[in-house]
């Protein structure tokens, strides 16, 4: 088949080369962005008198016809036309005749593809911010329902100090809040227009890049044409932010897996979000959070892949850059899918408040509080820590918890102990005593929840 760039060639392209170099199988996802960019470009060409107004109008109407066909799924993209840009140009020429060939005046596929990617990522970034907000909302709702729920807080996966479950869940709210900020901030760099850079050096036509930027709602244009066509930092940045988001999703998923295990039984995931075993009839497996955890690896792969493609690339455009797409599309889809699943997973889980509360009653996670008790009575904290350490060994040997020790037993370790120590040791008191800013006490969590909700209202 004749190529749009066939003039300089004396032979047909080898079929293997067509297959190997073609990107149409995946970059057809950019069809709408490609047409959107072309509509703005051709309008500018008309306004600047580079092509006749009538020609601009004809091209625009042809592009709208193709857009309509794309929407209806009526377009048959051809591998021989290599990529989305040449496929659409070919469709346009078929639609309106040779005047369609004027569309590419003053433009290269190099600045065109970069523009498509900017447009695509701008839309997707905004959508992903909305997806993150839905996850945040689910976390807020579970937090509200579990305001009074107490569970062990862990360090080293050893019980450390009791915390409110709302406080634990809200920790993830803030991670996702930072992720939203990162996405929001990246829009500044996404919203810069490469079009008008030509192949690498600019163009001889008297184009108006500012006008295209205005039509496509970009804040600025790249000040350097070579940078414009070879910059993929905005994609790297997206993949980096996506990787960080997946770290957060993965950590939360890991907790869901642990909490729903027989050993913990802190939560139960809804049947609709679990799967069974083909052999063991009793099994109910947390496949969804496991897979969410696993998807993180795939997203990191996209980031490492593109970093590797870009390192060592000389300026300006190189065909290697075509490898920027599949990882980006895959990451967008993986992230969207993961966030969308996390919402119902969190919303439908059952929280076993009794199991959580019992876990806290049957451990030594209130030890810090009696150390604080002695310290508040004047004993240096380091010494109090030592005394309580001894009490814990003593209690463990006696098979008792700290609440079960008698006053004589306490006083044999320090005369500072009085009856009020027992009140200090209840999980509720332990949690509520942590009133420092950002702490787990009910009053602090209430304030935190308010702040969290205000973040969602603002956007
Ligand atoms: N399909 C190409 C890509 O994705 C478009 C740009 C091609 N430019 C070129 N000079 N071969 O990068």
104 is catalytic: no
Q: Ligand 1: which of 37, 83, 89 to mutate, judged by most atoms within 8 Å of the beta carbon?
A: 83
Question: Which of the residues 25, 277, 412, 414 is marked catalytic?
Answer: 277
Any atom of ligand 1 within 6 Å of the Cβ of 83 = yes
217 is a domain residue: yes
Residue 95 has pLDDT above 80, yes or no: yes
| CATH number of 383's domain | 1.10.40.30
Any atom of ligand 1 within 6 Å of the Cβ of 104 = no
457 is a domain residue: no
Spatial separation of the C-alpha atoms in residues 39 and 34, rounded to whole Å? 9
Question: Which ligand 1 atom sits nearest the alpha carbon of residue 82?
Answer: 1
171 is a domain residue: yes
Split into its structural domains, the chain has a count of 3
Any atom of ligand 1 within 6 Å of the Cβ of 109 = yes
Biggest CA–CA distance in the chain, Å, is 102
Nearest residue CA, atom 4 of ligand 1? 322
1 is a domain residue: no
63 is a domain residue: yes
Same domain, 224 and 140: yes
Distance 381 CA to ligand 1 centre (A): 67
72 is a domain residue: yes
Structure-block tokens of residue 42: 């051709």
Q: Are 435 and 403 in contact (CB under 8 A)?
A: no
Task: Examine the fold and report which residue of 334, 358, 382 is the final residue of a domain before the chain moves on.
Answer: 358
Same domain, 82 and 134: no
Task: Examine the fold and report which residue of 105, 128, 161 is the final residue of a domain before the chain moves on.
Answer: 105
Same domain, 131 and 233: yes
Structure-block tokens of residue 224: 């350097």
Across all residues in the chain, what is the average pLDDT? 96
Report the interhelical angle of 53-71 vs 31-47 (nearest 10°): 170
Same domain, 215 and 176: yes
- What is the per-residue pLDDT for 8? 87
Same domain, 115 and 138: yes
- What is the per-residue pLDDT for 1? 66
The mean pLDDT value for 56-79 works out to 97
DSSP 13: P
| CATH number of 41's domain | 1.10.275.10
Question: What are the angstrom distances between the C-alpha of 388 and each of 98, 163, 211?
Answer: 88, 21, 73
Spatial separation of the C-alpha atoms in residues 45 and 260, rounded to whole Å? 61
Same domain, 126 and 275: yes
For the whole model, what pTM was predicted?
A: 0.95
| CATH number of 230's domain | 1.20.200.10
Same domain, 193 and 100: no
Distance 109 CA to ligand 1 centre (A): 6
Question: What are the angstrom distances between the C-alpha of 33 and each of 65, 112, 121, 380?
Answer: 15, 10, 10, 67
192-193 vs 220-221, strand pairing mode: parallel
- What is the per-residue pLDDT for 380? 96
The mean pLDDT value for 17-33 works out to 97
Closest Cα partner for 445 from 154, 138, 165? 165
Task: Examine the fold and report which residue of 342, 358, 374 is the final residue of a domain before the chain moves on.
Answer: 358
pLDDT tens per residue, range 114-159: 999 999 999 999 999 999 999 999 999 999 999 999 999 999 999 9
| DSSP-H helix ranges across 146-272 | 165-190, 209-215, 225-230, 233-259
81 is catalytic: no
Rg of the chain (C-alpha set)? 31
**The complex's ipTM?**
0.97
pLDDT tens per residue, range 328-362: 999 999 999 999 999 999 999 999 999 999 999 88
Residue 252, domain extent: 110-358
Spatial separation of the C-alpha atoms in residues 82 and 87, rounded to whole Å? 7
Distance 110 CA to ligand 1 centre (A): 6
């Amino acid at each position: 088949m004749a190529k749009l760039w066939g003039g300089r060639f004396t032979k047909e392209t080898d079929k293997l080369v067509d297959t190997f170099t073609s990107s149409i199988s995946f970059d057809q996802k950019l069809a709408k962005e490609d047409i959107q960019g072309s509509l703005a470009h051709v309008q500018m060409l008309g306004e600047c008198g580079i092509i006749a107004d009538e020609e601009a109008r004809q091209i625009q109407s042809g592009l709208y016809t193709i857009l309509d066909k794309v929407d209806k799924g009526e377009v048959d993209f051809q591998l021989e036309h290599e990529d989305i840009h040449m496929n659409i140009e070919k469709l346009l020429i078929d639609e309106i005749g040779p005047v369609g060939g004027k569309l590419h005046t003053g433009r290269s596929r190099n600045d065109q593809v970069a523009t498509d990617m900017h447009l695509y990522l701008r839309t997707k970034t905004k959508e992903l911010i909305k997806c993150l907000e839905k996850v945040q909302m689910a976390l807020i709702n579970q937090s509200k329902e579990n305001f009074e729920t107490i569970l062990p807080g862990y360090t080293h996966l050893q019980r450390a100090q009791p915390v409110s479950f709302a406080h634990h869940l809200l920790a993830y709210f803030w991670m996702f809040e930072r992720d939203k900020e990162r996405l929001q901030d990246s829009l500044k760099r996404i919203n810069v227009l490469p079009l008008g850079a030509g192949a690498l050096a600019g163009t001889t036509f008297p184009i108006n890049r500012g006008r295209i930027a205005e039509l496509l709602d970009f804040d600025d244009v790249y000040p350097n044409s070579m940078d414009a066509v070879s910059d993929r930092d905005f994609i790297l940045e997206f993949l980096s932010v996506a990787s960080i988001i997946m770290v957060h999703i993965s950590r939360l998923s890991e907790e869901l897996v642990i909490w729903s295990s027989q050993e913990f039984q802190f939560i139960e995931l809804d049947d609709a979000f679990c799967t069974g075993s083909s052999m063991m009839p009793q099994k109910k497996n947390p496949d969804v959070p496991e897979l969410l955890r696993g998807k993180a690896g795939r997203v990191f792969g996209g980031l490492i892949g593109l970093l590797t493609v870009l390192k060592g690339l000389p300026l300006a455009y190189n065909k290697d850059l075509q490898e920027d797409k599949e990882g980006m599309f895959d990451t967008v889809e993986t992230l969207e899918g993961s966030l969308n699943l996390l919402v119902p997973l969190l919303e439908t889980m059952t929280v076993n408040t009794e199991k959580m509360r019992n876990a806290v009653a049957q451990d030594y996670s209130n030890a810090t509080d009696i150390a604080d008790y002695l310290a508040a009575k004047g004993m240096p904290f380091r010494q109090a820590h030592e005394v309580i350490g001894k009490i814990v060994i003593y209690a463990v040997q006696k098979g008792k918890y700290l609440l079960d020790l008698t006053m004589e037993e306490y006083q044999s370790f320090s005369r500072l102990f009085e009856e009020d120590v027992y009140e200090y040791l209840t999980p509720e008191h332990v949690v509520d005593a942590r009133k420092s800013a950002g702490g787990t006490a009910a009053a602090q969590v209430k304030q935190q929840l308010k702040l969290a909700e205000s973040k969602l209202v603002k956007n």
